[in-house]
Amino acid sequence: MDTPASTLAAELGAITNLTHGFVYFAPEAWEEYGALGLERHQQYFASRAAPFGPVPAEVVVATFFNFNPDLVAAAIPDAWEVADPGEIQAARMRAAARVLRRCCDDVTDAVIEEAENLAGAMIDGVGLEGKPLAAANLAVAEPDDAWGRLWQRITVIREWRGDVHIAALTAAPVTAVEALILHAATEQVPRAALVATRGWPDDVWQLAVDGLVERGLVDPDESFTDEGRRFREDIEARTDAACVALVDAIGRDDTRRLIELLGPIRRGLIDGGALAMMGRQDHPRPTQARNGNDS
């Protein structure tokens, strides 16, 4: 039986999330940003927002969705006074290519080229309406380096899904803090990691918990009710359904092939330790959601 397109969209989301997200945890990235003069508290926000240009903190709050605005404001716009967004973006792509070369040295040039071409066809085949982070990343000039170019194309796909997921969360409706609480209830990422990296005060978090309890979505201990679990699963299903457009852009066979090609890259990143910091509550970078962008 043929794999449903929504299932392929979910599989694509999971693997592109990992093959993009390692850059937030890589020492190579910290080195690149540090060489530009960025402080550690600036690096995540400045590097991910760099494709937008020197935007104010409000744009980052809106498009990243779930961070305490005070946390963002501590980094943006001051980071743009330290380094030009174009320089930061170039440093990010260099860092990604360095990590990929370090961890995936057994991946052949042919695999990189085929994956790059399929990813390029996918992003050329979908629209950008309502996809601000994807659009900003697509507008960035691609590097000459093949690994950097592949990573940037995977980034567009990852952020396209993230933009869709934020739309689903907003329509649910779910606030930034509520999305984090519901994600913690899945036990995919420790609650402590989400609290530590998103910067919301305890009283704001508790107020959101109280609201979700009143809606019947979580119990007071922040675990799911049956209704809450269905509610969260529906958000993921809506995200998958909207991301079928990515699959349709190149077809199911080529989407399966892209996922297959990214498999050894994912394994190389895991074996090479590039993802070892994900989920650690003492780490300053945000953890990555399994499929979406709500954590």
In whole angstroms, give the CA distance from residue 86 to residue 62.
21
Q: Which residues pair with 218 in a beta bridge?
A: 224
Average confidence score pLDDT of the chain: 93
Burial code of 6-20, b = ≥16 C-beta within 10 A, e = fewer? bebbbbbbbbbbbbb
Asked whether the predicted pLDDT for residue 295 surpasses 80, the reply is no
Q: What angle do CA 281, 283, 75 make, to 5 degrees?
A: 120
Record the pTM.
0.93
In whole angstroms, give the CA distance from residue 238 to residue 143.
34
Digit-coded pLDDT (tens) for 28-44? 999 999 999 999 999 99
Q: Average pLDDT of 90-119? A: 97
Neighbour-count burial of 144, counting CB atoms closer than 10 A to its CB (0-12 exposed, 13-18 middle, 19+ buried): exposed
Q: What angle do CA 26, 29, 35 make, to 5 degrees?
A: 145
pLDDT at residue 287, as a whole number: 43
> Domain map of the chain by residue range?
5-271
Taking Cα atoms as reference points, which of 196, 186, 209 lies closest to residue 284? Answer: 196
pLDDT at residue 18, as a whole number: 95
Digit-coded pLDDT (tens) for 148-185? 999 999 999 999 999 999 999 999 999 999 999 999 99
CA distances from 151 to 50, 112, 189, 273, 279 (A): 16, 10, 24, 18, 22
Tokens of 43: 């690096």
Q: Tell me, what amino acid is at 29?
A: A
Asked whether the predicted pLDDT for residue 1 surpasses 80, the reply is no
In this structure, the number of other CB atoms found within 10 A of the CB of residue 68 comes to: 16
Q: Tell me, what amino acid is at 139?
A: A
pLDDT at residue 5, as a whole number: 95
pLDDT at residue 238, as a whole number: 98
Asked whether the predicted pLDDT for residue 292 surpasses 50, the reply is no
Asked whether the predicted pLDDT for residue 216 surpasses 60, the reply is yes
